[in-house]
Amino acid sequence: MIKKTIYIVVLLCLKFVLPAKAQNEIILQRPDTTYTLGLNIEYLEDNEKKLTIAEVKKTSTIFQYYPRKSINFAYKDANYWFRVRLKTAESHEWILHIVRPFIENIEIYQFNEKDSLVAQHQLGIQFPFHKRLVMYRTFVVPLSVPKNQTTTLYIHFSGSNSKQFPMEITEKSYFFAKAKQDDHIVWLIIGALLSFTIYNAFIYVSTREKSYLYYVLYMFSMTANVFIINGLFFQYVAPDYPFLTRNLLNVFLTIPSFFGMGFTIHFLRTARFFPIGYRISLGVEYVIVANILLMLVSIHLDDTIYLFSLQLSAFVIAFFTLFSFILGVRTWFKKFRPASFYVIAWSFLLLAALLASVKQLGILEDSIFINYSFQIAAVIEGLILSLGLADKINIERKQKIEAQQKSIELLTTNKRIIQEQNQMLEQKVQKRTEELNQQTLLIEEKNEDIIASLNYALRIQKAITPSLTMMQNYFSDSFVFYAPKDIVSGDFYWVAEKENLTLIALADCTGRGVSGAFMTIITNNILNTIVHNYEITAPDQIIKLIPTLLEKVLLQNQQQSLEDGMDIGILSIRNDNEQYTLQYVGAKQDLYYIENNQLQILKGDRWAIGEKRNEHLEYQLQTIQVPSTIALYLFSDGYKDQFGGEKNKKMGIAQLTQIITNFAPLPMNQQKEKFEDFFSQWKQTNVQTDDVTLIGIRLRHPNNPSEAL
């Protein structure tokens, strides 16, 4: 039994390895059969690219039979002549079908039994589409084969593209029935790829996830590749531009690899899980770009350079496919679940490449599945990668929820710190109202409940926030438009007075809701500590101390970078009797002021507190003298970032600047109403985008308090 099994295996191996015996001529008998010319055709290699039909007929003895079913000479720099003898026992209309739609030049000569030329055709991708004998995306040539007579075909291929010449002879009606079926499959493949592209493009617009962007570009380039490689672009889009079609094909053979590599880098988080692979991936992308440029330049140069660029493209595509699969497997071993989708998707591509290779060796027979295996694999890959992207987004959403839960736990853990800081706050609260003090005590008793904690944070914010009366004690002509997005706010403003110096700050802390409110409380205490305990009043010195004290409060160290921070502007106003001296420093916060009806801006530095850690980093202190009446404006980004208006877009700084200029001549109490009304009308029914704080202060000349702007 074992010997018999070994014998059968050896016979099968010999069948696949040894070339089939060629026939002297093809007998066209059955109209429902496709006759592949690979094993029944003779060929002559023309390395000098000079042979004519007359010279070929004289040297007909040099022809030799092709040993495999699929005719493929790869990227050899030569022209090729083929000869095949046909004989039919039935009267049917036969056609020669040259399957590959991107052969540059094809010459066909048909001789009868008396060796007389009866038909001659020239076609190829270098000619406009309307010059074809049959208006089809591949090359179709009608043949006149008399019954019971032998016809000899000489077929000449020339050009600089790859030398793959799949040819077959089919009865006319059978061919078009089969072609219709093939066309349906191609359009289904294109439709599926395009659907993946459009669907995930919408998801990218809503998520702004880079993986989705590269996936969309990869799927779009794959769609374009299938559309071009099947001859549809030339047939329907650019039938009169063969030069464009030919070169677009070669470019779009490589472009999917570029976007696919970008997708691999971001989807698999290669920089994190496999740094060496990340650097190799970047190198592959550079090689792809260089090859595309070489391909475009070599169009106008020697054919040898152009062939080299095509060979390099084939190598890059093969390396990209295999290397991406290896990256996926390695990342999968790192317990990164989305990598499993990636590996499965790439496995289908590798399987399709294997089937294509086996087909080239003549081991597998032609079938719809085999012929379109790579394109079907691209559809399956697109579907699986789309599912993988969705799974990745779900994982990241779950991680964000877990991070939020950890933030709540951190609030509970830091309860002791909050209580210590509240001792200082309670002293101010007790000076305000007994009712607020009772509410604070009630909140402290219920601070382990999350909802109660939120209300507690709100009360504390109100306690530390200067009231309208307090603001007007400092600045008689002023207003504050303060509108938190949620119950509590990540914005806050702060006022203090030292001798003849008044300090005012406006900050937009990291986050909103509980986390933002927590930061406002901490920062308010830090400002009080710096000014009242350390007796530091210079804005640039105050802002320099804030990150240091934040680190101490948040228990951060040198191994953990400061990610909690804020945008803040600090302004000091000194009354020197004859004029005001203003000093300002800003971290991503600008001071706007109007003097003599002109809008001026003191621009803050472009980094927020907590955005960079550098012990030598200093914020620029700006000083101006105010000899006349001036209107000052500080605001967080919530006002200008609000969506609304006729086009439902962000308001933007340009429009906010314009309304500041328009409202500036009005009294400050009227300005507040104007700003509130404008914001409400702009927002319409939209949800408020962010916390909103806008402060306006008018300083009048000490010796001329009635002076206007």
Task: Give pLDDT tens digits for 149-167.
Answer: 889 999 999 887 778 888 9
* pLDDT average, residue stretch 534-557: 84
What predicted TM-score, i.e. pTM, was given to this entire model?
0.51
Average of per-residue pLDDT across 631-636? 94
Section 14-34 average pLDDT: 63
> Residues 473, 673: contact at Cβ < 8 Å?
no
pLDDT at residue 708 is higher than 60: no
From CA 110, how far away is CA 146, in angstroms rounded? 12
The residue written with tokens 């009446």 in the block is 629
* pLDDT tops 90 at residue 218: no
Residue pair 463/440 in contact by the 8 Å Cβ criterion = yes
Residue 97's DSSP bridge partners are 140, 168
pLDDT band, very low/low/confident/very high, at 439 (cuts 50, 70, 90):
low
Q: Using one digit for the tens of pLDDT, what is the confidence trace for 492-507?
A: 899 998 888 999 999 9
What is the residue type of 463? A
- Pick from 262, 143, 286, 177: which is nearest to 213 by CA? 262
Residue 141, pLDDT score? 94
CA atoms of 364 and 570, how far apart (whole Å): 77
Task: State the pLDDT at residue 1.
Answer: 40
Asked if pLDDT for residue 16 goes beyond 50, the answer is: no
Query: How many CA atoms within 13 Å lie on the side-chain side of 119?
Result: 16
pLDDT, mean of residues 303-309? 71
pLDDT grade, residue 593 (50/70/90)? very high
- 3-state secondary structure (DSSP) of residue 95: strand
pLDDT 10s digits, 34-76: 888 877 889 999 988 889 998 888 876 788 888 877 788 877 8
pLDDT at 12: 35
Looking at the predicted structure, is the pLDDT value of residue 643 above 90?
yes
In the chain, what percentage of residues exceed pLDDT 70?
Answer: 82
For all residues of the chain together, what is the average pLDDT?
A: 81
DSSP-assigned letter for residue 533? I
Which of 24-28, 198-202, 438-442 is predicted with the least confidence, judged by mean pLDDT?
Answer: 438-442
Asked if residue 15 has pLDDT above 60, the reply is no
Strongest mean pLDDT among 137-146, 264-273, 373-382, 605-614: 137-146
What pLDDT was estimated at residue 429?
52
Check residue 437 and give its pLDDT.
61
Residue 509 and residue 490 in contact, taking contact as beta carbons nearer than 8 Å: yes
Instruction: Give the strand order in the sheet containing 139-143.
Output: 35-36, 167-171, 94-98, 139-143
Tokens for 181, please give them: 């079926």
Cα separation, 356 vs 372, whole angstroms: 9
Tell me how far apart the alpha carbons of residues 38 and 65 are, in angstroms, rounded to a whole number.
Answer: 9
3 state SS of 419: helix
Q: Tell me how far apart the alpha carbons of residues 250 and 159 are, in angstroms, rounded to a whole number.
A: 14
So what's the pLDDT on residue 666?
93
Strand order in the sheet with 591-595: 478-483, 692-699, 630-635, 591-595, 598-602
**With bands split at pLDDT 50, 70 and 90, how would you rate the model's confidence at 333?**
confident
Q: Which residues contact 222 (CB under 8 A, 6 or more apart)?
A: 193, 256, 378, 382
The better pLDDT of the pair 173, 342 is held by 173
Q: Which of 38, 306, 24, 46 is nearest to 156 (CA)?
A: 46
Residue carrying the six token digits 């010459």: 107
| The predicted structure's pLDDT at residue 2 | 39
- End-to-end CA gap in the chain: 109
Is the pLDDT at 479 greater than 50? The verdict is yes
CB 501 within 8 A of CB 510: no
3-state SS string for 592-632: EEEECCEEEEECCECCCECCCCCCCCCCCCEEEEECCCEEE
